[in-house]
Each structure stands twice: as C-alpha cells, then as structure tokens.
Amino acid sequence: MDRLIGTRLARFLIPAVFLALMLALWEFAVAAGWLRRLLFPPPSRLIGSAIELASVGVPVGNTLLYNASVTLARILAGFIGALVLAIPLGLLIGSRPLLDRATQPIVGFCRSVATLSLLPLALVWFGIGETSKIFLIGYGCFWVMLSNVIAAVRLVDPVLLNAARTMDIPEHRLFMRVVLPATLPRIAAGARIALGVGFMVIVGAEMIGTVTGLGALIMEARTFYRTDITMIGMLAIGILGLVLTSALARLETRLMPWLPRGNAEAG
Amino acid sequence: MEVANLGMNDRPMRSGAGPAMLAEPMPDAANGGTDPIIRIAGVGKRFASDTQGSEPVLDAIDLTIRDNEFVVLLGRSGCGKTTLLNIVAGLEKATSGSVLVANRPVTGPGGGKGMVFQQNALFPWLTAARNVMFAAQSRGQSKAEAAALAAELLRLVGLDAVGDKYPSELSGGMQQRVAIARALALDPAILLMDEPFGALDELTRNEMQDELLRVWQVRRKTVLFVTHSIWEALMLADRIVVLAPRPGRIVLERSVDQPRPRSRTNPGLLALHEAIWQALQAR
C-alpha cells in the first residue's frame, strides 16, 4: 500500500475515489432521510440542475456559460486595471525609500479595509451599473498588488545591484537591467494573490443591482429556495477560479523559465 | 622663520604625499621589481551608526599589492576584511585614507575591478552563459564576441556543458565557477573575492581552491581574496595578511613561499599555520 501511494496513477486515483465516496454518502444520507432534500439537494439532483442551467438558463435565457462569462469579464476588467495601475506605481514607490516610508500607513490601511464594506459607497459613487462592480474588484486587487510590488522592489538582493555596479552598469540603468527582472517573480506571486481577492469580491459585488453573473445567479436562487442552483453557482465560481489561477501559473513558468520547477504552483 | 619651516616639513610626512614619499622604501623593490597595482594607504572606516568612542571598523590600514600577486585577507568575523575589500572595490567609501588601483584613486565600482561575491550574486533570470555575456557586453563587446568569450571562459572554469542552464539548476560550486567566469569576462586588472567558497561543503571547497589556482595560472590576475579559513589562505596565497577586530588592523603579514600545489602536511605550512593561529587570537 505504501508503495502504491507514490505512483502517478495513485496520486489521481486516491482523491478521486475519496471524492466519489463522499458524494455517495451524501446521496445516501438524503435518500435515507438524514438530510432534508430541500436544504441539501443530493448530487443526482445537482446534475439535473446543472443541465437545466447550462441549456435553458435561470431566468430563462441566462445560461450558466453566459453568467460565467459575464463574471469572468468583470473580474478580468478589475484585475487587469489594478495591475496596470499598481505595477508602475509600486515600482516607483518601492525604489524611493522616502516615498515608501510616506505611503506605508496608507497602503497598509487601504489593503486592510474589507473591500465589500465599500459596496454602499461604490453604489453612491458609480451607481448600480458595471462601473461599481469593476471598481470593487479593482480596489481589492489594487492594494494587494501594490503592497506586493513595493515589497518586491524592497527585497531585491543588494548583492545583485553591487554585482552589476562592478560591471560598470550606471545607476540609472540598474532599474531596467537588474531591479525589474529581479522583482518579476514576486510581482507574479502578487498577481496570483490579487486574482484570488478578485474572486472573493465578485460574488458580493454581483449580489446587488444586477441579474447577470454567477453572484447574481446565487442570490436569485435564494429567493426561489433553489439551493441546488446556489450550489451549482458556487461550483462554477470555484472551477472558474481554478482554471484562471492555473492559467496564470502556466503563463508564469513560460515567462520566467529560470524559476525552480513547482514554484508557481506552490505560491 | 624656523617655526614655518618645521610646519612645511611636517605636513607632507603625515599625509604621505609630497617629497616625503621619495624617502619611503619602494615596497616592490624587495619583491622582484613588479609594479604595485593596489596601494591602500591609511584607510580607516567608521560607520555613521557607530557610537561615540567605539573602535573603528578599520584603522589606518596600509597595504601594497604587486601586479599578479595573490593576497589573502584573513580574519575572524567582524575584523573588517570584507569592508576593506568593498572599499577597494569602490562599493563602500573609506572614512579616511586612500586606495589607488593602477595608480588611479578608487572613486566607485567598475573600471576593471572584477568581483566574486560570497554567493547568489548571479542574475537568476539569465543562463550561465548569459551571465558571463552580461559582463562581456558591459565593456562594449558585441553579442557574438561576448558569446565566444563566455564559451571560452566557461570551458576554462570546467563548465562547458551547462551554458544554457539557469543558476537555480546549478550546484553551489558550479554557481561560483560561473561567478568566476563572469568576473574574468570583465578582463579586470584585479580580481576581488569575498569568501567565494564560504558557503560550500569542505570537499567542494577544496576542489574549488585547486580550480581557482589552475584558472589563476592560466589567466594571471592580481587577486585579493577574503576568507576566515587559515587552510584556505595557506593553500592559495602568495601573501597572507591577518586582520584583527576593533579596531580592524593588520596584525601579521607573511609570504608563503611554498610551490603550488601545496600539501597540508608540508612542515613549512604547518609552522605558518601555528603563527597565524596565534595572531588570530589577538583581540
């Protein structure tokens, strides 16, 4: 048995068998009347709902794929907007110690504010349209990203700068030649964390003022006591997050082939 | 009149410049007549954070190093040996005194002063060959020239097959070989080495010492090498300079006349080991 655990087949098979067992137990618990069907729809019911959601849609026309694509578009808009602003700003702040010192409390504070607590403000500022949702995702991603980029610059090993200096690289070119490539891995790690934040924010952001998106779907389902739809929605968000995160990790290993293998998956 | 004269004679003596220098014995005359390439004169160093009245990191260090000489700075942690090396490299500023390399005062890093650091100073985003090329291109070589030089230098340090590997894929010993090749790619007048083998296991360390001597015999350079290992100093050096801490000062200078490769059972080296051991006890 111990010898089996290490093999590749076992690595896939063991969690799969365990998952199947848990699902079977759930199905059985509902059938036996230990769990109420309305509150804990069994896996067999969920499969049916998933097919309904994917083909007809709830409300009719809003298919699962459509909702997922709306959610994905919002996340990407907020996430990419945050990166575009936070990376240059973080590089600037990180390489100016005075600026770093001056902004530290602000960055720390804004990062700590629970993004969804800004929801009422966002609604007042930007209305109930797309802008307020993208703003909330962008806000959450931005501060996480900014503090990671600042730290990335601060943590560049001074020995690398000194090594470049012994090679007659002038001070004004150290940034492009050394600082930027040296910070890339930490910036990428920051992006992965920020994306996770985006996924946490999106559901809340979609709960008000819209009928599209996976967050809206989950909320709508509650009004009709469709716990099965809520669960499918959760599942869809989870899968979307997993796909996006692993795409980012793959991009990372492609862009930074020098990183030790497994680095991207671990962080 | 008399008072004025005294003052005139006094000043150049203290600053170590002017007519008084002519009266100094030429240090190179005793050592085969080659030119001094590094002149460290009265170098002292205090950090801004030092408390009033504490001893300086370095106090009035005088050291002259001949062209192609292999000098080892030896001392315990905190004796200021790395600080002295950094001052020669131009990475730190001395509080007092002066350093001349090839008769020009050191004002900053670069300008033909190659350096090998303790560890992890290779650019992790560049392959071994690209790291070496970075140095070659920094002194104006074309990409093709730099690639050829990198291949040649990697072969010299015994790494012909790993040019396209990243530093993270190399062992500690291999990384330091690349670092040596990179420093040589600058075609430096002097090579400064800051405990380059300090992070390696003892066997690898011994191999690297042999390797360094082999490379040094092919590409003659002036080497200033910092270590806290007496045996490393004995294996490598033409001359060993022992530093003691607080204030950082030279407490012993010995030439090592044994031919290389040297054996640890050599009675001359054993006697020298004892003398250095005694000197290192100084506080």
Q: Is the pLDDT of residue B49 over 90?
A: no
Interface test with B, best of A155, A166, A178 (most B CBs within 10 A): A166
Res A267: pLDDT: 37
3-state class percentages of chain B: helix first, strand second, coil last, to nearest 5: 40, 20, 40
Rounded mean pLDDT of B128-143? 94
Residue of B nearest to A162 (CA): B91
Q: How many whole angstroms separate alpha carbon B89 and alpha carbon B108?
A: 7
Residue A2, in any domain of the structure = no
Task: Assess A157–B contact: CB distance below 8 Å, yes or no.
Answer: yes
Residue A7, in any domain of the structure = no
Q: How many CB atoms lie within 10 A of CB A121?
A: 12
Q: How many CB atoms lie within 10 A of CB A138?
A: 28
SS3 A261: coil
Residue A17, in any domain of the structure = no
Q: Which domain holds residue A103?
A: 36-266
Q: How many whole angstroms separate alpha carbon A247 and alpha carbon A205?
A: 24
Q: Using the beta-carbon criterion (under 8 Å), do B91 and A184 form an inter-chain contact?
A: no
**Which is more confidently placed, A153 or B282?**
A153
Separation in Å, CA of B237 to nearest CA in chain A: 24
Separation in Å, CA of B29 to nearest CA in chain A: 31
Res A191: pLDDT: 95
Residue A66, in any domain of the structure = yes
Res B34: pLDDT: 63
Alpha helices, H only, B64-171: 81-89, 128-138, 143-156
SS3 B96: strand
- Cβ neighbors of B81 (< 8 A, separation 6 or more) are B73, B74, B75, B226, B228, B243, B248
Give tens-digit pLDDT for B234-260. Answer: 999 999 999 998 889 999 999 999 898
> What mean pLDDT value characterizes chain B?
85
Rounded mean pLDDT of B52-68? 88
CA angle in degrees (0–180, nearest 5) for B192-A163-B179: 65
Residue of B nearest to A260 (CA): B168
- The rounded radius of gyration (Å) of the Cα atoms in chain B is 20
Residue A176, in any domain of the structure = yes
Residue of A nearest to B119 (CA): A159
3-state secondary structure A165-193: HHCCCCHHHHHHHHHHHHHHHHHHHHHHH
Count of domains for chain A: 1
Neighboring chain A residues of B166 at a CB cutoff of 8 Å? 257-258
Interface test with A, best of B93, B134, B141, B162 (most A CBs within 10 A): B134
Residue A22, in any domain of the structure = no
Neighboring chain B residues of A165 at a CB cutoff of 8 Å? 90-91, 108-110
* Sign of the torsion formed by the C-alpha atoms of A208, A213, A215 and A217: positive
- Cβ neighbors of A157 (< 8 A, separation 6 or more) are A182, B120, B121
Residue A10, in any domain of the structure = no
Among A128-132, B8-12, B118-122, where is mean pLDDT lowest?
Answer: B8-12
Residues of B within an 8 Å Cβ radius of A? 89-91, 108-111, 113-115, 117-118, 120-127, 134-135, 138-139, 166-168, 183, 186
Q: Residue A22: what residue type? A: M
Q: Using the beta-carbon criterion (under 8 Å), do A159 and B120 form an inter-chain contact?
A: yes
3-state class percentages of chain A: helix first, strand second, coil last, to nearest 5: 80, 0, 20
| Among candidate residues B256, B224, B220, B250, the one with its CA nearest the CA of residue B238 | B256
List Cβ<8 Å contacts ≥24 apart for A262-265: A263/A185, A264/A188, A264/A192
* Bridge pairing between strands B70-74 and B222-227: parallel
Q: How many CB atoms lie within 10 A of CB B202?
A: 10
Res A2: pLDDT: 62
Residue A94, in any domain of the structure = yes
Q: Which of B114, B118, B168 sits opposite A258 (nearest CB)?
A: B168
Name residues of chain A where pLDDT drops below 70.
Answer: 1-5, 261-267
Res B30: pLDDT: 40
Separation in Å, CA of A255 to nearest CA in chain B: 10
Q: How many whole angstroms separate alpha carbon B263 and alpha carbon A82?
A: 63
Rounded mean pLDDT of B129-144? 94
CATH code (residue A166) = 1.10.3720.10
- CA A127 from centre of chain: 25
Q: Is the pLDDT of residue B186 over 90?
A: yes
Domain ranges for chain B: 68-94+104-112+189-283, 122-187
The model's confidence at residue B5, banded by pLDDT at 50, 70 and 90, is: very low
Q: How many whole angstroms separate alpha carbon A55 and alpha carbon A48?
A: 11
Res B89: pLDDT: 94
Q: How many whole angstroms separate alpha carbon A260 and alpha carbon A252?
A: 12
Among A62-76, A245-259, B25-39, B189-203, where is mean pLDDT lowest?
Answer: B25-39
Res B3: pLDDT: 38
| Among candidate residues A218, A235, A222, the one with its CA nearest the CA of residue A23 | A235
Pick the CATH number of B68-94+104-112+189-283 from 3.40.50.1820, 3.40.50.300, 3.30.365.10, 3.30.930.10: 3.40.50.300
Q: How many whole angstroms separate alpha carbon B129 and alpha carbon B185?
A: 11
User: Residue B240: beta bridge partners?
Assistant: B72, B254
Query: Phi and psi of A166, rounded to 5°?
Result: -65, -15
